[in-house]
Structure 1
């Protein structure tokens, strides 16, 4: 039994149905990468997991309990979510924004604690933004802002991290640094679920790949078991060959155009 599951979901935006009867068990303590073409339902699935989108049928469950029944702060202490395009309050500085990740751990009677301070400092250091702590967020580059948002989610100290295209706006070096960080968090026992566009990055870092098309899961499993040329052609309509990555031995997709 896995802690986070989706059962027979129907997901829609008004009259537009995105997915029907979609089910997924998210492996505990693993790095799950969700891949697929644009508008195939990847982000919609993440939104359903964190209760930003209510299924019109089926249920998302955490620890056998529908996420719809959790109080907001209790759910936010378990599930940390980074959306595609978060918006920062005007004129907020980096440290203050990252500190908002500690909100789920606060109460009306609690005060800012040493644990809160340590969590914020460690999150900024891990995300590589400690040197930006006093900078206004609006002055930062797109890549720097993205790393600040990652730090906010890390400061929540949740058991599950859900990230929607977390490598957006990052240069290639910072993309791999972030993926290495997510892999380390996985190694420390946290469950990571990320929507990724780069299939080769997904194969290199993820334990579990979920390939989607047209709102449905086409295949899921360990990259070495499920990622082959037939799957890539089916999901992305891309002629290709799949060869071993020369560094890791994981599947590497090479377009055959």
Structure 2
């Protein structure tokens, strides 16, 4: 997209033909341009900065298992600069959760996202903390989440990132720092043996397959909700 015509022009064509636009892309800036140029709802199905649809599925999964989201401690371990980390910060803060993200010093979340998440948390009773030590982030956690270290468009950084994330692999030893009742989430696809071990991914605390199923349900619900709002 945007190779022959601008995103704005594409948006104006699409909103004459469809009821809503669901776009999985790379640049967040393109999504913003699409939304600003379209008269129909635009859903961010994934960008380099945020993954909101995935977070809806994750929050649904947490509620199914733990009940209320308010006050629950969620620790994200891995690339704290990626779209999942940013989304946990904002969505978790909105839900009144205590969000902890842990990653190497070079892979910390965007400062503006952290600032915004803390502003939200101040109104919901949540909290936001950033760590470079995964063990500190995991103490008394109710939910432990991770994601692939090598995201889309980063294959040329694979060797560098594997070295940088030494100590951040979610294995049984790290997971044991969290509450015994803690649940494990991973948005998939998983690089088994890198960011998460087989033992944890397939273990009794893992809800990754429920989490994957719930993407279907929340995205259907989101489209219905947006369609109803458009008719109102």
TM-score grouping bracket, smaller chain normalisation: 0.3 to 0.5
The normalised TM-score by structure 1 is 0.30
The normalised TM-score by structure 2 is 0.33
* Higher strand proportion (structure 1 or 2): 1
Q: Report which structure shows greater RCO (CA 8 Å, sep ≥6).
A: 1
